[in-house]
């Protein structure tokens, strides 16, 4: 079985749900307590043993690349001012992991964004993490998926149960439970089913572990929901040919691309913070 070494993170989206905040700043650079959301995603990847990140970017997203780059000028200033701790923190971010960027020149959909990574990923299974989806868990969500992959050796989508009246916001998976805890064998997937048409409450969240065959399938996938090339449609086509699994990960998922989801993430991550957690909890008690 091939090891999972690469993770694709599409960050080309416009972030319309977060306007006006995301007009001049990529939504992935919005701060959750003391780090941009994209850093949490990259840290999850690193903690899961991944060696290389492939960012799928678009115009106006260079702040993301800069965040993980080494800034010689800033480093020199911090050195002169004897700000050693800060310097070390910034150096650690730039040394986190190798990052390669690929431009998605047109917003043709999530499926198209992932297809853009085909030459960098090559012929090996890989992870996909969506920048909006933050997961708080003891074991990183991607690590949980890699552990399942080591047992089943096929593609996996992370899922969570959602109320049936919210299924229209997600890719929805139908499947049957298997002998492995939290795992299901996928029989059918639908991208954002019309309200009232879904009987399954298993929603795809932004974590996928995919076999490289997905690239051929994506290359043939025609526009679907919203006129975009949908990853879920390609996954359904792949699931028709070989096994695919859904995994109810252990943890809490936040939709950080949505204003309320973002606020929940800020509060929950702040409460868990090493130094800020206690004073923040005291503050919340005083205002609630």
Q: Which of 211, 232, 239, 247 binds ligand G1P (CB under 6 A)?
A: 232
Give the nearest distance from C-beta 130 to ligand G1P in angstroms.
5
Of 61-69, 115-123, 130-138, 180-188, which part binds ligand G1P (CB under 6 A)? Answer: 130-138
Return the number of the residue (78 or 234) whose C-beta is nearest ligand G1P. 234
Tell me if residue 283 falls in helix, strand or coil.
helix
Separation CA 22–CA 217 (nearest Å): 32
Q: Is residue 170 near ligand G1P by the rule CB under 6 A?
A: yes
C-alpha closest to that of 190 among 203, 168, 172, 169: 172
Return the number of the residue (125 or 171) whose C-beta is nearest ligand G1P. 171
Q: Is residue 233 near ligand G1P by the rule CB under 6 A?
A: no
**Phi/psi-derived region of residue 60, left when phi > 0, alpha when psi is between -120 and 50, beta in every other case:** left
Return the number of the residue (26 or 171) whose C-beta is nearest ligand G1P. 171
Own/partner contacts of 67-71, CB < 8 Å, gap of 24 or more, are 67/29, 67/36, 67/38, 67/39, 67/93, 68/42, 68/93, 68/94, 68/96, 68/99, 69/94, 70/94
Unique residue bearing structure tokens 């001049």: 24
Of 55-63, 68-76, 177-185, 201-209, which part binds ligand G1P (CB under 6 A)? Answer: 201-209
Q: Is residue 171 near ligand G1P by the rule CB under 6 A?
A: yes
Within positions 243 to 282, which residues make up the interface with ligand G1P, using CB under 6 A?
Answer: none
Give the nearest distance from C-beta 163 to ligand G1P in angstroms.
14
Tell me if residue 209 falls in helix, strand or coil.
strand
| Beta carbons of 35 and 81 less than 8 angstroms apart | no
Q: How many other CB atoms sit within 10 Å of the CB of residue 278?
A: 11
Return the number of the residue (92 or 163) whose C-beta is nearest ligand G1P. 163
Tell me if residue 135 falls in helix, strand or coil.
strand
Return the number of the residue (48 or 236) whose C-beta is nearest ligand G1P. 236
Q: What is the per-residue binding string for ligand G1P in 109-128, x denoting contact by CB under 6 A?
A: -x------------------
The distance in angstroms from the start CA to the end CA of the chain is 52
Return the number of the residue (78 or 109) whose C-beta is nearest ligand G1P. 109
Give the nearest distance from C-beta 69 to ligand G1P in angstroms.
26
Q: How many other CB atoms sit within 10 Å of the CB of residue 258?
A: 15
Burial class (CB in 10 A: 0-12, 13-18, 19+), 48: buried
Q: Is residue 131 near ligand G1P by the rule CB under 6 A?
A: no
Of 54-62, 76-84, 146-154, 202-210, which part binds ligand G1P (CB under 6 A)? Answer: 202-210
Residues that bind ligand G1P (CB under 6 A): 110, 130, 132-133, 170-171, 191, 203-206, 231-232
């Amino acid at each position: 079985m091939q090891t999972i070494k690469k993770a694709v993170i599409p960050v080309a989206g416009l972030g319309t749900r977060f306007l006006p905040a995301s007009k001049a700043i990529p939504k992935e650079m919005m701060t959750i307590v003391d780090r941009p959301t994209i850093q949490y995603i990259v840290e999850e990847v690193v903690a899961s043993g991944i060696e290389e990140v492939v960012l799928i970017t678009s115009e106006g997203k260079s702040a993301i690349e800069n965040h993980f780059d080494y800034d010689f000028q800033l480093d020199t200033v911090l050195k002169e001012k004897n700000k050693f701790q800060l310097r070390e923190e910034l150096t650690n971010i730039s040394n986190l992991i190798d990052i390669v960027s690929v431009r998605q020149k047109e917003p043709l959909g999530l499926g198209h964004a992932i297809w853009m990574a085909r030459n960098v990923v090559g012929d090996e299974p890989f992870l996909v993490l969506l920048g909006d989806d933050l997961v708080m868990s003891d074991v990183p969500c991607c690590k949980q998926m890699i552990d399942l992959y080591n047992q089943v050796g096929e593609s996996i989508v992370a899922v969570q149960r959602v109320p049936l009246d919210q299924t229209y916001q997600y890719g929805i998976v139908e499947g049957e439970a298997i002998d492995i805890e939290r795992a299901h064998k996928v029989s059918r997937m639908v991208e954002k089913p019309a309200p009232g048409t879904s009987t399954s409450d298993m929603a795809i969240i932004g974590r996928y572990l995919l076999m490289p065959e997905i690239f051929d399938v994506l290359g043939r996938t025609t526009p679907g929901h919203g006129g975009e090339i949908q990853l879920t449609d390609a996954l359904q086509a792949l699931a028709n040919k070989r096994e695919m699994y859904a995994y109810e990960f252990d943890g809490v998922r936040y939709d950080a691309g949505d204003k309320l989801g973002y606020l929940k993430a800020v509060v929950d991550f702040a409460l868990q913070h090493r130094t800020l957690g206690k004073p923040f909890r005291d503050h919340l008690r005083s205002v609630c």
